[in-house]
């Protein structure tokens, strides 16, 4: 081995290839490194996707996580961020074909983690908008709180995610319909709340930088029967917006 770089490349290859001819990998203790690296990746996925873990059980989860860790090892040293591709992996993972909602449950776990570590900002409350002239309100651009996330799923994702996150079984009488969820962080606590499609439209418009007037138009076009005031006040009360 001529250089440090060659040594490292061969070492990394041998970590993932049991048949490697890299000389140090022929020593039995090399397995300590193989095991430690793999275990750390699987432990990180287990920590980052607790609801998926609850739904599929620990043995199934760790077997699936090992396959994912081999195909998509971490690139970021912050293991709390590891698993960006795990929801997509679960969706195309043949043994999970009978659980088509698993990817969206994993996405919600990930949104929860993103919300936890997102930047701090003072939440915007309803009082801030009270008493403003309609034209001033329409021109306002609301800032989505840095810790706010949302999800639209064709599955009853929140009804599956919530009990799973708490480690209990999902109610068998589940209504099989699409659900939306918003993830907010208020006073350091992350919450996942049910959301209406109109709320999601409003949040998306605000994140694009639309004024409140433009956002209201988008909501009324997509959901003509939904009163915009209720949609906005619900989001404000949940802490989804922040002071600019």
Partner 1 sequence: MRPPLAAGLGFKPRHFDEALRCVSPGLWFEVHPENYMGDGGPRLAMLDALADRHPLSLHGVSLSLAAAAPPDTGHLRRLRRLVDRVRPVLVSEHLAWSAWGGRYMPDLLPFPRTHEALACIAANILRSQEALGRSISIENPSHYLALDGHDWNETDFLAELVRRTGCGLLLDINNVHVSANNLGFDALAYLRAFPLHAVTEIHLAGHGVDEDSPANLLIDSHDAPVGEPVWDLYRHVLSRGGPRPTLIERDGNLPSFDVLLQECVRAGTMLAAQGLAA
Which window, 59-67, 68-76, 124-132, 171-179, contacts partner 1 (CB under 8 A)?
Answer: 68-76
Alpha-carbon dihedral angle through residues 130, 133, 139, 142, given to the nearest 10 degrees: 0
Report DSSP state, residue 194.
Answer: E
Q: According to the binding rule CB under 8 A, does residue 37 interact with partner 1?
A: yes
User: Which of 47, 93, 102 minimizes the C-alpha distance to 67?
Assistant: 93
Measured from the CB atom, the residue of 17 and 117 that comes closer to partner 1 is 117
Q: According to the binding rule CB under 8 A, does residue 4 interact with partner 1?
A: yes
Q: For residue 237, give every residue at least 6 positions away whose Cβ sits within 8 Å of its Cβ, in sequence order, or none.
A: 125, 126
CB 196 within 8 A of CB 206: no
Which of 151, 185, 202, 203 lies at the binding interface for partner 1 (CB under 8 A)? 185
Which of 19, 57, 76, 221 lies at the binding interface for partner 1 (CB under 8 A)? 76
Q: According to the binding rule CB under 8 A, does residue 22 interact with partner 1?
A: no
The token duo for 195 is 């959301």
CB 14 within 8 A of CB 25: yes
Q: According to the binding rule CB under 8 A, does residue 21 interact with partner 1?
A: no
Measured from the CB atom, the residue of 9 and 178 that comes closer to partner 1 is 9
**141-180 residues near partner 1, rule: CB under 8 A:** 146-147
User: Minimum CB separation from partner 1 for residue 124, in Å?
Assistant: 16
Q: According to the binding rule CB under 8 A, does residue 64 interact with partner 1?
A: no
Q: According to the binding rule CB under 8 A, does residue 119 interact with partner 1?
A: yes
Q: Can you tell me whether residue 187 is helix, strand or coil?
A: coil
User: Which of 243, 240, 244 minimizes the C-alpha distance to 111?
Assistant: 240
Which of 17, 18, 32, 186 lies at the binding interface for partner 1 (CB under 8 A)? 32
Q: According to the binding rule CB under 8 A, does residue 17 interact with partner 1?
A: no
The token duo for 58 is 């620990």
The token duo for 201 is 């439209």
**60: phi then psi, degrees, rounded to nearest 5:** -60, -45
Q: According to the binding rule CB under 8 A, does residue 122 interact with partner 1?
A: no
Which residues are at the interface with partner 1 (CB under 8 A)?
Answer: 1, 3-5, 7-9, 11-12, 15, 23-24, 27-33, 36-37, 40-41, 44, 73-80, 115-121, 146-147, 185, 188-189
């Amino acid at each position: 081995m001529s250089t440090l770089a060659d040594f490292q490349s061969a070492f990394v290859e041998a970590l993932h290839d049991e048949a490697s001819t890299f000389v140090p990998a022929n020593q039995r203790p090399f397995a300590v490194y193989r095991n430690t690296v793999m275990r750390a990746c699987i432990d990180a996925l287990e920590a980052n996707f607790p609801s998926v873990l609850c739904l599929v059980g620990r043995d199934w989860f760790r077997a699936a996580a090992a396959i994912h860790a081999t195909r998509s090892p971490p690139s970021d040293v912050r293991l709390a961020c590891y698993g960006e591709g795990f929801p997509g992996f679960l969706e195309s993972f043949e043994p999970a074909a009978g659980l088509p909602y698993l990817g969206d449950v994993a996405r919600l776990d990930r949104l929860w983690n993103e919300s936890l570590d997102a930047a701090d900002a003072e939440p915007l409350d309803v009082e801030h908008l009270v008493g403003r002239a309609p034209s001033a309100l329409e021109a306002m651009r609301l800032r989505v709180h840095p810790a706010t996330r949302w999800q639209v799923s064709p599955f009853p994702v929140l009804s599956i995610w919530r009990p799973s996150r708490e480690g209990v079984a999902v109610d068998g009488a589940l209504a099989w319909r699409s659900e939306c969820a918003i993830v907010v962080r208020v006073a350091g606590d992350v919450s996942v709340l049910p959301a209406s499609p109109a709320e999601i439209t409003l949040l998306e418009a605000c994140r694009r930088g639309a004024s409140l007037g433009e956002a209201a138009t988008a909501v009324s076009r997509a959901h003509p029967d939904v009163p915009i005031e209720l949609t906005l006040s619900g989001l404000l009360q949940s802490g989804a917006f922040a002071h600019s």
